[in-house]
Amino acid sequence: MKYGNVFKLLEEITINNGEKVSLGMKSKWGWNEFTYKGLGLMSRRLATYLINDLEISKGEKLAILSESKPEYGACVFASVLAGLTTVPLDNKLTIYELTSILNDSEPVVILTSGANIEKAKELKRRVPSIKHIILMDSCVYESKLIPSLYSIPEEYEAKWRRRPLSATAFIIYTSGTTGSPKGVEITFKNMLSQMHDLKIALKTILPQDVDLRLLSILPMNHLFELTVGFFIFLHNGHSIYYPQSLKPKDIMDVMSEKKIKFMITVPAFLKLLKTSIESEINKKSAAQRTIFKICYALAAFCPTKVKRLLFHQINSKFGGEFFGCISGGAPLDYSVGQFFERIGIRVYQGYGLSETSPVVAVNRGKYQDIKSVGPALDSFEAKTDTVTGELLLRGPSVMKGYYKREDLTSDVIDADGWLHTGDIAHIDKKTKLIYITGRIKNMIVLSGGKKVFPEEVETVLEQSTNFAEVCVTGMKRNFGEKDGCEEIVAVIVPNERYCANFSSFENLETAVQNEVKYLSEQLAPYKRPIKIIVRKETLPRTTTNKLKRNEIKNLIGQGV
């Protein structure tokens, strides 16, 4: 495979698309939109400042602490042009967590949005390596003391620094990293391999030679968003828009105003959207609800165009042109995927890890099954361990390793180059579709030696429309003859509508427990929860909406 040259790629992206909108975001003052030409100029202006004015050496680290916004893209491109390694930070982490990450990666400069300026200043005081802070916004904060992208010299030419394909382009830290940080090193070869594979894969998903307007709702520090929602779509010359917040109203406003056609998302957002739509339907008259149910049943046998006509009123709220999304970052609930497919919106489930740059597979091509994550991308070799069922991967998108942690790297990449994902999977021999069935580290081992994957139990309990959140975990008993053995615990957060039906928490608790027991009859007896805990508070999650299982264990106590 020929990977090409990253500088030529950046040049082509900006020159070929000229005055077309590349990135846009709505603020209280109106739309802030960058053309491709404008994005290129801002990138070169910042890169020139980093090289000529700040005299930052080639190979140094540049950290970005910001919410997603158009300027973020210019910072990433500038870092590449200046020959630096980019460290995207989760701006929702605490000072303590960020200090741990920055002391590990040792960046020389930190770029920050105005919303995070105080946090950036505190980090500069705590982290010796940080010499410079640059604001990404207009000069709204301390413009005389801290330069911004809009106040630095208007110089656009420097000697751009080329680096080999084996050089580290990004160091990606998992959210909530403390103690001994684990940074995934992604090389230019990794990124270019991903772009090559995804360009081929997306030909079967996205219409070709069409100007697409895409919505970006995932944080830019997340590699899934950075790779697919940013690099891939810009490479294809599309326009990317960011909402002011993740409130449904702000998101729907952007989708409607900009006639969004496609998006990258996570299952939790789709579930929230489904719940919102169903809530609106439940407010309608009995006759209208009956019509919806009839159309929903008929849609199972209709082509997509007919589905969109049947549910024109719903689709018009998305702007009328939204036709689909790629869902990744966590398993997609089958009922959620089915709902959107029925109303005429395609959901392509994908799968990946930061360690694979990150996309491994996405549903596409001749064989598609919403329960699977699709076949692996072209450059990957994929197989399962014959004993454990663990998914193993090999290919040019597999990370360089964990930054400064050869011990951890050798734990997950074996001598033959196979990455051990930690996910349990089944690969269909005929279709090559990959089905993820659980996580090795989440696996619950019962006293009799039987193994249960929480995800399997969660899928059954999530069938209830009364449950907003479900988490199944293993808890060790600390008494009796099974002392020290794990037992299955289900933590349920019922939705507000369901809670309103009960006059006391005790009655709600009893109803939820009965519903869990009823649904659990679909499972083998040993897979059924022994204890059912009902909570009204939402469960802790990462920025990509994955359950923080260890935190949940601590919340509900160490003993069953």
- Whether residue 407 sits in one domain with residue 494: no
| 213 assigned to some structural domain | no
Separation CA 510–CA 296 (nearest Å): 32
Say what the pLDDT of residue 441 is.
Answer: 80
Which residues are CB-contacts of 285 (< 8 A; sequence separation ≥ 6)? none
Task: Compute the 3-state secondary structure of the chain and give helix, strand, coil in percent, each to the nearest 5.
Answer: 35, 25, 40
Residue 383 exposure: Cα atoms within 13 Å on the Cβ side = 8
Nearest Cα residue to 172 out of 181, 164, 180, 163: 181
> In whole angstroms, what is the distance from residue 30 CA to residue 25 CA?
8
Average pLDDT of the segment spanning 63-67: 97
Residue with tokens 């020139």: 48
Residues 403 and 494 in one domain: no
Q: Do 339 and 369 contact (CB within 8 A), yes or no?
A: no
Q: Which residue has the higher pLDDT, 484 or 471?
A: 471
Tokens (6 digits) for 312: 């024109």
Instruction: Specify the CATH number for the domain of residue 294.
Output: 3.40.50.12780
Query: For 143, left (φ over 0), alpha (ψ -120 to 50), or beta?
Result: alpha
pLDDT tens column, 247-275: 888 898 999 999 999 999 988 889 889 98
Q: Is the pLDDT of residue 486 over 90?
A: no
- The residue out of 386, 404, 439 marking a domain boundary is 439
Structural domain harbouring 38: 6-181
Beta strands in 371-525 (DSSP E): 381-384, 390-394, 401-402, 419-427, 434-439, 444-445, 451-452, 467-476, 486-494
At residue 319, the 3 state secondary structure works out as coil
The answer to whether residue 274 sits within a structural domain is yes
SS3 annotation, 127-148 = CCCCCEEEECCCCCCCCCCCCE
Q: What is the mean pLDDT of residues 48-76?
A: 97
Q: Which of 181, 203, 231 is the last residue of a domain?
A: 181
Which domain-ending residue is among 403, 420, 439?
439
Identify the residue with better confidence: 144 or 555.
555
Model confidence at 455, in pLDDT bands (50, 70, 90)? confident
Q: Is residue 219 part of a domain?
A: no
Highest mean pLDDT among 70-84, 232-246, 318-332: 70-84
Find the CATH number of the domain harbouring 552. Answer: 3.30.300.30
Geometric angle at alpha carbon 126, from 122 and 130, rounded to 5° = 90
Q: Which residues pair with 215 in a beta bridge?
A: 241, 263
Looking at per-residue pLDDT, the higher value among 142 and 113 belongs to: 113
Is the pLDDT score of 544 beyond 80?
A: no
Please indicate, yes or no, whether residues 434 and 456 belong to a single structural domain of this protein: no
Q: Does residue 538 sit in helix, strand or coil?
A: coil
**Torsion angle of the four alpha carbons 394, 397, 398, 399, in this order, in degrees rounded to the nearest 10:** 170
Q: Does residue 503 fall inside a structural domain?
A: yes
278 and 399 inside one domain: yes
Token pair of 388 as six digits: 């454990």
Give the per-residue pLDDT at 443: 79
Percent of the chain's residues with pLDDT above 70:
94
Same domain, 479 and 386: no
- pLDDT value, residue 447: 67
pLDDT of amino acid 492 = 97
Mind listing the pLDDT tens digit for each residue in 459-474?
A: 899 999 999 999 999 8
The helix (run of H) or strand (run of E) holding residue 351 is strand 346-352
Our count of domains for the chain comes to 3
pLDDT at 560: 38
- Chain center to CA of 189: 22
Q: Pick from 411, 485, 492: which is nearest to 452 by CA?
A: 485
Does 228 map to a domain?
A: no
522 versus 59: which is more confidently predicted?
59
Say yes or no to pLDDT of 141 above 90: no
| Per-residue model confidence (pLDDT) at position 281 | 94
For 370-415, the pLDDT digits (tens) are: 999 999 999 999 999 998 899 999 999 999 999 999 999 999 999 9
How high is the pLDDT of residue 177? 42
Given a contact cutoff of 8 angstroms between Cβ atoms, the answer to whether 248 and 276 are in contact is yes
Is residue 66 one of the residues assigned to a domain? yes
Query: What is the C-alpha separation between 332 and 349, in angstroms, rounded?
Result: 7
- Is 147 in the same domain as 18? yes
Question: What is the b/e burial string over 235-251, where b = at least 16 CB atoms within 10 angstroms of the residue's CB?
Answer: bbbbbbbbbbeeeeeeb
**Which tops the pLDDT comparison, 449 or 400?**
400
Higher pLDDT, 559 or 409: 409
Where residue 484 falls among pLDDT bands split at 50, 70, 90? low
Overall average pLDDT of the 448-455 stretch: 78
**Mean pLDDT rounded to a whole number for the chain:** 90
Q: Which residue has the higher pLDDT, 333 or 164?
A: 164
Do 50 and 92 lie in a common domain? yes
Question: pLDDT tens digits, residue range 163-204?
Answer: 999 999 999 997 444 456 789 999 999 999 999 999 999 999
Distance, in Å, from the CA atom of 440 to the CA atom of 413, rounded to the nearest integer, reads 16
Q: 368 and 386: one domain? A: yes
- The predicted-structure confidence for 306-327, as pLDDT tens digits, reads as follows 999 999 999 999 999 999 999 9
Pair 20, 161 in one domain: yes
The pLDDT of residue 22 is 95
Overall average pLDDT of the 516-526 stretch: 90
The answer to whether residue 525 is domain-embedded is yes
User: What is the full DSSP assignment across 284-335?
Assistant: S-HHHHHHHHHHHHHGGGS-HHHHHHHTHHHHHHTTS---EEEE-SSPPPHH
551: in domain: yes
The mean pLDDT value for 138-147 works out to 68
Q: How is 262-296 classified by DSSP, letter by letter?
A: EEEE-HHHHHHHHHHHHHHHHTS-HHHHHHHHHHH
pLDDT at residue number 1: 47
Q: DSSP letter for 247, please.
A: S
Q: What SS3 state is found at 22?
A: strand
DSSP conformational letter for 26 = E
Handedness of CA 527, 531, 534, 537 (dihedral sign): negative
Sign of CA dihedral 60, 67, 265, 244: negative
Q: Are 449 and 369 in the same domain?
A: no
Query: Regarding predicted confidence, which is higher, 417 or 7?
Result: 417
Same domain, 433 and 341: yes
Query: Does residue 158 sit in the same domain as residue 30?
Result: yes
pLDDT higher than threshold 70 for residue 421: yes
- Measured at the alpha carbon of residue 399, what is the angle toward residues 377 and 390, in degrees to the nearest 5? 65
Question: What average pLDDT does range 201-210 have in this prediction?
Answer: 88
Where residue 13 falls among pLDDT bands split at 50, 70, 90?
Answer: confident
Which residue in the block uniquely carries the two structure tokens 């301390």?
142
Residue 395 DSSP symbol: S
Q: Which of 437, 228, 229, 202 is nearest to 331 (CA)?
A: 437
Residues 352 and 359 sit within 8 Å (Cβ to Cβ): yes
- Do the strands 444-445 and 451-452 form a parallel or antiparallel pair, or are they unpaired? antiparallel
